[in-house]
Every structure is written in structure tokens, then in C-alpha cells.
Amino acid sequence: MKDMLTVALPKGKLFDDAIELLQEAGLNTKGLSENSRKLVIHNEKDRVKYIICRPTDIPTFVEYGAADFGIVGKDTIVEQDKDIMELVDLRFGFCRFVVALPDASAKGRDLTQFNYRRVATKFPKVAETFFAEKGMQVEIIKLHGNIELAPAVGLADMIVDIVSTGRTLKENNLTAVEDIFTATARLIANRVAYRLKHKRIQPLVERVRSLVKDKEVTY
């Protein structure tokens, strides 16, 4: 069906807010669950197909046209730098990118004193750009999880990661010493789909924009 819309939804912390928003915007989201083993859900009546996937995969699904549009965090968009359209700031899923040091190292010291040190992160592009702009040379170590562990075992001197409340940093004796940028969830679209299915996508985009414009940013 050529006018079927395919929507990529993120598993994890953004899922419930994404479902609620799409429902408010008029899409039928009944039966969608991130815990379901069914990863493709068709709604023939509304001509919508949902795919449920890892947040880090959503820009790829959208860029290649496997999904017409999707919802994903700004942090993932910046790190991956895919050829996609960023349409609306959805104002939920707030987090911030920070540089964090072990508590003992952070006391009374400036970040520039850590030149030529090692940095652990899941976001090497963000980290590399940040330190290059500060004129610092560091060694970036890419990890896929538990970034806070790296300074504790001597793998890295500091980390670059996203934080929401800062609780995880505190529990692992780390102190955020510099903010890089803040991020929230975004509505993104495939460039070709946005043009070819404009009559279906644009009204939805306008409804979403109207729904979120006066909302407070939430975690």
C-alpha cells in the first residue's frame, strides 16, 4: 500500500511518552508494547505500520527509508549524523551530555589540566568534537555500556556520557565538571518519504507541534 506510513518507535525510556504523544496526535496505538516479541505491528484501517527497535537504530531505519518517520533522542542524532530531517523537538526525554571526573580528581582542578588523558564514552564523535573545540588532545575509548566503570578500574581518566538526574554519577563517585549540550526526543523523517507522503505526514507533524509547543521539558 503506497500511502502506508511506517513509524519507528524506540524501546526504552522514550517508548511510553512516544506512544502517548502519537495517540494524542490521532494515531491508533492500541496494542503497542515494548515488551512484545512482535516488532512489526500493522494497522490496516489507519494505514500505519509500526516498527519497534533500539533507539540507536532508528536514524538508520529512517535514513534508508525502512521507516518514514520516527522518534529518537537528539543525543543519538548528533552522534550518528545521518541524512535525515529533524522536524519537532518533542520536549520529553531530557538529558545532558557531560564530562565527568572521579570525585577526587575533580576537586579544584580545571578540565584543561587533563590534556593527553583517556576518555571513555559511548559517543566518540560528540567527545572528539568537544575536546577538539577546546584545543585538547585526548584518547577516545569507545565502550557500549557501563561507562562509569572505566575510571574506577583505570581504563580512562574521565568519561563523556548522557545524564538525566546525575544519580548514577554520584553512586559511582563521579562529578560532572562540564556540560557539552542538552538533548530531548525529536520527531525525524526520511527526506524522500516526507516529500512523497507530504499530505499524510505534514498534518501529523503540525498536530504534534501544536501538542508540544507549550509543554514543560520532562525527563
pLDDT tens digits, 157-203: 999 999 988 889 999 999 999 999 999 999 999 999 999 999 999 99
Residue (of 101, 75, 79, 113) closest to 159 by Cα position: 101
Which pLDDT does position 38 carry in this prediction?
84
CATH of the domain at 15: 3.40.190.10
Q: Please, what sign has the CA dihedral across residues 7, 10, 16, 21?
A: negative
Q: How far, in Å, CA of 217 to CA of 219, rounded?
A: 7
Does 194 lie in the same domain as 144?
no
In a domain, 150, yes or no: yes
Q: How far, in Å, CA of 124 to CA of 117, rounded?
A: 15
In a domain, 198, yes or no: yes
Does 123 lie in the same domain as 68?
no
Which pLDDT does position 35 carry in this prediction?
78
pLDDT in tens, 65-75: 999 999 999 99
Q: How far, in Å, CA of 199 to CA of 41, rounded?
A: 23
Which pLDDT does position 2 carry in this prediction?
65
The domain containing residue 127 runs over which residues?
95-182
**Rounded to an integer, what is the distance from CA 122 to the centroid of its chain?**
12
Which pLDDT does position 1 carry in this prediction?
58
Q: How far, in Å, CA of 160 to CA of 181, rounded?
A: 11
Does 81 lie in the same domain as 188?
yes
Residue carrying the nine cell digits 507541534: 209
> Per the confidence metrics, is the pTM higher than 0.75?
yes
Which pLDDT does position 107 carry in this prediction?
86
pLDDT beneath 70, residues of the chain? 1-2, 219
Does 119 lie in the same domain as 61?
no
